[in-house]
Structure 1
Amino acid sequence: MSRPEADAAGGQRRILIHDPTLRDGHHAVRHQLDRDQLRSYAAAADAAGVPVVEVGHGNGLGASSLQVGWAKLSDDEMLSVVREALQSSRMGVFMLPGWGTTADLQKAVAHGTDVVRIGAHCTESDVTERHLGYLRDAGVEAHGVLLMSHMATPAQLAEQCADLVAYGAQAVGIFDSSGHYLPPDVTERVHAITKAVDVPVIFHAHNNLGMAVANSVAAAEAGAEIIDACARGFGAGAGNTQLEVVVPVLERMGFSTGIDLYALLDAADLAERELMPAPPTISSESVVSGLAGVFSGFKTRVQEISRREGIDPRDVFFELGRRQAVAGQEDLIVDVVMELRNGVAVRPQDGPRREDVRT
């Protein structure tokens, strides 16, 4: 993928918007979006000129399971429905090695997927090498993204992103998977990555501390060229960067997205009406999850298990953060809750835990 060039008419720097509403949003509804919901939103985003519409189980290709939730539809069904609904927008998918396999990628490519993202924990880029290599050989646009990126230093992230490029990624970037960052954190990390690679840089925010739009703007100003955002912020935990807000904000700041504002607002209205029981909010647990640096997708499971066992979910989030839990370690939630219930783990108010939440 080549770097976006300045808009020919006004000299504006182009920002490519990547919309994971139909993938990250799945976390908020237990992965239960149906055919009509997928089709209607994909068509609306396409009509607005959203460049990339991503679809799939919240945890990506091959992830539908008892551990992280069974999806209402199979990967094949989701890909088929969205592919048919898109006329101009490109279709994207996401995969985490360990959940998905090369066979899942082959099926996605056969369905006409245009952009494939391979994700990895922020210090484990090497697990993407095989899959990025396959996509490179298949001629499919491949992105490499680092999850839970607050757990690594800017220098480490830059090094990991350089490795992703070496493996075949045509764009690389970071996910603020727990909504932990403040704008200066984003600026420092994006600057470091842009100096280390010569491909577009991606930024994906969560809104646990209410910073998603501000962090996305900071990323764009620091040199990121691909910004992720979801309609009404529909996504895990407190949600993602709100698509219909960040686009006009970026445009007002002098960036060019190529998206039709009125059609985008219509798509967001449709998403609120048809995809979600209510738009994401920043709950007390979401704030604590962001402070503790815990994966946003843990929210529902933490709430359910904590309430069942009579444990304060805030204590669970801080303990998970202390243990540096990452996506895929959902079983650890049960362990922490039971240890808190039995007095094995120390509650934050009983010991020095607050320092663990600092970046």
Structure 2
Amino acid sequence: MSKKVIINDVTLRDGMHAIRHQYSTDQIARLTRAIDDSGADIIEATYGDGLGGSSIQYGFSKESEEDIIKTAVANAENAKVGVLLLPGIGVIEHLERAHDWGARVARVATHCTEADVSEQHIKKAAELGMDTVGFLMMSHRTEPENLLEEAKKMESYGAQTIYVVDSAGALTMDGTRRRVSLFKENLNSKIQVGFHGHNNLSLGVANSIAAIEEGADRIDASLAGMGAGAGNTATDQLVAVMDRMNIDHNLDLYKTMDAAENLMKPMMERPVQIDRLSLTLGYTGVYSSFLLFAERAGKEYGVDARDILTRIAEIGAVGGQEDWIIGVAQELAKEKQLNA
């Protein structure tokens, strides 16, 4: 393959979920330097749920949004620093401030059937001259043809790149191929296509490679897979596979391995791995960031966290509805008492 794949590193954004948004500025600085030195093209540095996400609902971050972004910008010599914004959590003013602090990539994320809420944010990012990305989360929750229609909306608003986002780690390779290929065949040829994977079904690397084979221009990855649920596509694993397949990219395998092993893994409070809870996320198709919330609620109310996630899937929860988890846990606890 002659095209060079762009790697967007999400260690400092999706990885926030796995550490309860508690990265310190010192950790952010060290991770940024290591990711930058390994050759990543873009480093995303934001609260896990995007700009404005630090709150009582999602949990408060250790550092301010300004310090997170400015620290990444100060320590990235080559990579562009990006931010994520979910309309309704983040607003236009957040985006303008992020730009003032040095962010040059803006990813505007919506649920896979709600691209219309991204219009003003995508237009503002483009107006600011940022590398503007549409990010269609939970892409498994709608048919590929419907997802394409949502992507076309983002295209019309001015997005330069549009992502198939497997937020739940629920897509199989066929599902990934169908979505990415439809984007490549039907969007303007100038539009780049990206893929963001989670490893809940152990398919993070496989889906990323499938996306590349269908023409994806950008792939998300994180050191040691640091991210919500079972984590994201692990950069070190992805780079090893891409090198074996002679897929062109800018990353250095050994540097990526060393950063994952020596720097990222010691920072993990909870091992990012496929276990019964993260596997349940992928199997039921639940948003990956729900894992720690369900785990805590299960312990507090004495119910199986897998039952919480399964019930959450049944009632159709999407990203941003973590507050449902407590209610579901309470319901399950009552049912458990009645059946005792």
TM-score normalised by L of structure 1:
0.91
Q: 2 CA distance for matches of 1:334 and 1:45? A: 36
Determine which of 247, 252, 255 is the counterpart of 2:239. 247
> Are 1:276 and 2:268 matched, yes or no?
yes
Checking the alignment, whether the CA contact within 8 Å between 2:87 and 2:109 is kept in structure 1 is yes
Alpha-carbon distance between aligned partners in 2 of 1:167 and 1:275, rounded to the nearest angstrom: 39
User: Which sections of structure 2, spanning at least 5 residues, go unmatched?
Assistant: none
SS in 2 for 1:14: coil
Task: Indicate which of 48, 56, 59 corresponds to 1:66.
Answer: 56
1:313 Cα deviation after fit: 1.3
SS of 1:13 mapped into structure 2: coil
Alpha-carbon distance between aligned partners in 1 of 2:72 and 2:266, rounded to the nearest angstrom:
16
Cα offset for 1:112?
A: 1.4
Query: Structure 2 residue aligned with 1:301, among 272, 293, 300?
Result: 293
The corresponding residue for 1:262 is 254
Instruction: Report the residue type matching 1:200 in the other structure.
Output: Q
Number of aligned residues: 336
Asked if residue 158 in structure 1 is aligned to residue 173 in structure 2, the reply is no
Q: Is the 8 A contact 1:149 1:157 kept in 2?
A: yes
- Percent of aligned pairs with the same residue? 37
Alignment-derived partner of residue 97 in structure 1: 87
Moved over 4 A (4+): none
Q: Is the 8 A contact 2:169 2:282 kept in 1?
A: yes
Within the alignment, does 1:32 sit opposite 2:22 as a pair? yes
Task: Give the counterpart of 2:139 among 149, 167, 170.
Answer: 149
Q: Is contact 1:232–1:271 with CA below 8 Å preserved after alignment?
A: no
Mapped contact 1:23–1:55 kept (Cα < 8 A): yes
Task: Give the structure-2-normalised TM-score.
Answer: 0.96
Q: Deviations over 1:57-82 (max 9, x none)?
A: 11011100010110001110011111
Q: Distance in 2 between matches of 1:261 and 1:42?
A: 17
Q: Is the 8 A contact 2:228 2:288 kept in 1?
A: yes
The aligned counterpart of 1:353 is none
Residue 213 of structure 2 corresponds to: 221
The residue number in structure 2 matching 1:110 is 100
1:351 maps to none
**2:334 aligned residue:** 342
Aligned-partner Cα distance in 1 for 2:3–2:244: 12
Of 161-170 and 308-317, deviating more is 308-317
Matches of residues 40-79 of structure 1 in structure 2 within 5 Å? Answer: 40-79=30-69
Residue of structure 1 in register with 2:196 after alignment: 204
Residues 317-353 of structure 1 show CA distances to partners (whole Å, capped at 9, x for unaligned) of: 1111111101111111112112222239xx9xxxxxx
Q: Cα offset for 1:303?
A: 1.1
Report the secondary structure of 1:343's partner residue: helix
Q: Output the CA distance in 1 between the equivalents of 2:262 and 2:29.
A: 12
Q: Where does the alignment leave 5 or more consecutive residues of structure 1 unmatched?
A: 1-10, 348-359
Going from structure 1 to structure 2, the CA distance change for 1:122 and 1:37 (only over 3 Å counts) comes to: same
1:143 is paired with a residue whose SS is strand
Residue 78 of structure 2 corresponds to 88
Q: What SS does structure 2 have at the residue aligned with 1:178?
A: coil
CA distance in 2, matches of 1:324, 1:95: 22
What is the RMSD of the two structures over their aligned residues, measured on CA atoms? 1.6
For residue 263 of structure 1, what is the amino acid of its counterpart?
Answer: K
Q: Which amino acid aligns with 1:32?
A: Q
User: Secondary structure of the equivalent of 1:87?
Assistant: coil
